[in-house]
Structure formats: structure tokens, C-alpha cells
């Protein structure tokens, strides 16, 4: 997890190494009177500021959004408003995200971060190398129609190859595609549970039990159906495999 956050943060820093090679955290300067003056490098301040954008990167440039939306829709379809809790869904989505993104993070670590830490390449070069695996992942999940829409809005020229798509177009197109995919999966999840609700409501209506809420009766049946088909295994397995089809 820490490696993934560091790799995402690396791509925010394309220009920090322009002044000097490397990041000096603390500078000690003699004051001429036998003492010393300690100062923090402005590059470290910029680095810590850039790290505050990591949550946005995690949400918008990884598989996190799709997973969380699908799990939230699943909870709604089951009729369970508070179980599993939002904290559990976020935690599950986070760990699934790092599992799914592990090949991407490993490539960034070996191709960009490790050479930079060994001082073999500069920070801008490391940032450029770190973009490529993430770009490849996002392009694989992004619809061409969404890329074309944002290119048209931004009055961009037609792209000849995927490498020509800039990040300013790719990121919003990726997010839009992820939202579409998440809602499509959520719609399919809703259908079997909706059928159970309709059947229970019809039975109660035919029996004249109109004062009894159908949700109370249908909830145990929906939970039983979800358990019998091993729902968690199906949902999590399908979500994980959907990113590498």
C-alpha cells in the first residue's frame, strides 16, 4: 500500500528537480557565531504539498471508483442501508484496488522509482516513465467515445495513436468510462433482487396484507439468495477480472 501511494505521488513532481539534483530535506548553515541555522528545503515543502493530492489520484486514476460504486449499489439492492458499513466498503475497495493495480505499481516501481532512487535518472524522467504504465491501464478501461467527447470539448485535434492522448483528456475520459461501467454492473445486480421484491409485493397484495411492508419479507429472501449463490465471491471475482478482459 505504501509503495502504491509513493508511486502515485511520484507523478505529481515533474519539475521539482529543475533547480538541483536530488531532494535535500534540511540545510545546516553556520551563522558565524559558533551556532548553526537550520532550514527546510522548499522542494520538500512542495513534495509534502503534492502528497495531499494522493487521495484524488487514488479515486480518479485507479480502479477504486468502480469498485466502491458497485459495492454501494449492491448494498442498496439488498436493502441493507447500514450493513456492510461505509467504512467496510471503503476498506474493501481500497485493498481490492491495490490488488488490481499491483502489476501497474510494480512496473512503476521497477521502471521509474528504483532508477530515480539510485540516481540513474532525473525526477522529470522518472515522472515520465511512471506515467506510461498508468496510461496503459487507463486507456484499456476508457471508451473511445469518451476520449472523443473530451477532445471535442477541448477543441483538440484528432489523435492518431493512443500515445497522443494527453493526460488532461485521458483522466476525465477514464473517470467517465468508469462511472458508466459501474452503473451498468449495478443495474445487472439490481435485477434479481428487484424480481424478489416484485414477487413478494404481489403475494402480499393478493393476500390482502397491504399494511405489511414488502421490504421486511423480501429482505431475508434476498440475503438467502445472495448467500446461496456465493455472492461475495461472484461480485469480487467479476470486479477484479473486469479490469483485465
Instruction: Indicate the Cα dihedral angle 34, 40, 42, 44, nearest 10°.
Output: 150
- The one-digit pLDDT tens for each residue of the chain (245 residues) are 445 544 444 444 444 344 344 444 455 455 555 554 445 555 566 667 767 777 777 788 888 888 899 888 888 888 877 778 888 888 888 888 888 888 888 888 888 778 877 777 777 787 788 888 888 888 888 888 888 888 888 777 777 777 778 888 888 888 899 899 889 888 888 888 888 888 888 887 777 776 767 777 778 888 888 888 888 888 888 888 888 65
**What is the pLDDT at residue 46?**
62
- Helix residue ranges, H only, 207-242: 214-228, 231-242
The string of DSSP letters for 26-64 reads EEEEE-SSS-EEEEE-HHHHHHHHHHTTHHHHHHHSSSH
pLDDT in the model for residue 195: 86
At residue 153, the pLDDT reads 85
Q: Which pLDDT score, from 0 to 100, does residue 86 have?
A: 83
**pLDDT value, residue 242:** 80
The pLDDT, as a whole number, for residue 41 is 55
Task: Find all residues with CB under 8 Å of 79, minimum gap 6, and list them.
Answer: 193, 215, 218, 219, 222
Query: Cα(149)–Cα(175) distance, rounded to whole angstroms?
Result: 13
Amino acid at each position: 500500500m505504501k509503495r502504491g501511494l509513493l508511486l502515485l505521488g511520484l507523478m505529481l513532481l515533474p519539475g521539482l528537480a529543475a533547480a538541483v539534483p536530488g531532494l535535500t530535506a534540511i540545510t545546516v548553515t553556520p551563522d558565524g557565531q559558533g551556532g548553526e541555522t537550520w532550514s527546510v528545503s522548499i522542494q520538500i515543502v512542495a513534495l509534502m504539498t503534492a502528497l495531499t493530492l494522493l487521495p484524488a489520484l487514488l479515486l480518479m486514476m485507479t480502479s477504486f471508483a468502480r469498485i466502491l460504486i458497485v459495492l454501494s449499489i449492491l448494498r442498496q439492492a439488498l436493502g441493507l442501508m447500514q450493513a456492510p458499513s461505509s467504512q467496510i466498503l471503503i476498506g474493501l475497495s481500497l485493498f481490492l484496488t491495490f490488488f488490481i493495480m499491483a502489476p501497474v505499481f510494480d512496473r512503476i516501481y521497477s521502471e521509474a522509482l528504483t532508477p530515480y532512487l539510485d540516481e540513474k535518472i532525473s525526477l522529470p524522467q522518472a515522472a515520465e516513465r511512471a506515467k506510461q504504465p498508468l496510461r496503459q491501464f487507463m486507456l484499456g478501461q476508457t471508451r473511445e467515445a469518451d476520449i472523443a467527447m473530451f477532445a471535442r470539448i477541448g477543441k483538440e485535434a484528432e489523435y492518431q495513436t493512443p500515445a497522443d492522448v494527453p493526460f488532461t483528456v485521458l483522466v476525465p475520459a477514464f473517470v467517465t468510462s468508469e462511472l458508466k461501467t459501474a452503473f451498468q454492473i449495478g443495474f445487472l445486480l439490481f435485477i434479481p433482487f428487484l424480481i424478489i421484491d416484485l414477487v413478494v409485493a404481489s403475494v402480499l397484495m393478493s393476500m390482502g396484507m397491504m399494511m405489511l411492508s414488502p421490504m421486511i419479507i423480501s429482505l431475508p429472501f434476498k440475503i438467502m439468495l445472495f448467500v446461496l449463490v456465493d455472492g461475495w465471491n461472484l461480485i469480487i471475482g467479476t470486479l477484479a477480472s473486469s479490469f483485465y478482459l
